Amino acid sequence: MTLVGRLVADAELKYLPNSGTPKITFSMAVDRRFKDKNGNKITDFIQCEQLGKHVENLVQYLVKGKPVYAVGELNIYNYKDENGCWKSITKVNVNA
């Protein structure tokens, strides 16, 4: 999957607790190719994450409002919340 959009906020750098592997998370606004029936553009907000030592250097360039190009795979995580209701989280694991 290839996404082109703009960063909604600055990327966040964190480290995985068990391995210490660096991880960045960011959200991007991606406009659809078509408009709604009133002529307004439709924008999706996509959650993304990327792992690896190289992201420590990359995070400084991922700031709010910057255009961004991401290639990755779509992942959907399903889980039960504390009330026993099923929830899902959709993210793109970025490869490049």
The full set of domain ranges for the chain reads 2-94
The whole-number pLDDT of residue 75 equals 94
pLDDT digits (tens, 9 = 90+) for 10-28: 999 999 999 999 999 999 9
Determine the Cα–Cα distance for residues 45 and 50; give it in Å rounded to an integer.
17
Whole-structure pTM value: 0.85
pLDDT band at 86 (very low <50, low <70, confident <90, very high): very high
Question: pLDDT of 27-84, one tens digit each?
Answer: 999 999 999 999 999 999 999 999 999 999 999 999 999 999 999 999 999 999 999 9
The pLDDT assigned to 66 comes to 97
Q: Are strands 2-7 and 67-80 parallel, antiparallel or unpaired?
A: antiparallel
Q: Residue 62's pLDDT is what?
A: 96
Residue 79: partners with Cβ closer than 8 Å, 6 or more residues away: 86, 87, 88, 89
- pLDDT band of residue 96 (cuts 50, 70, 90) is confident
d(CA 66, CA 21) in angstroms, rounded, equals 25
Can you name the CATH fold of 2-94? OB fold (Dihydrolipoamide Acetyltransferase, E2P) (2.40.50)
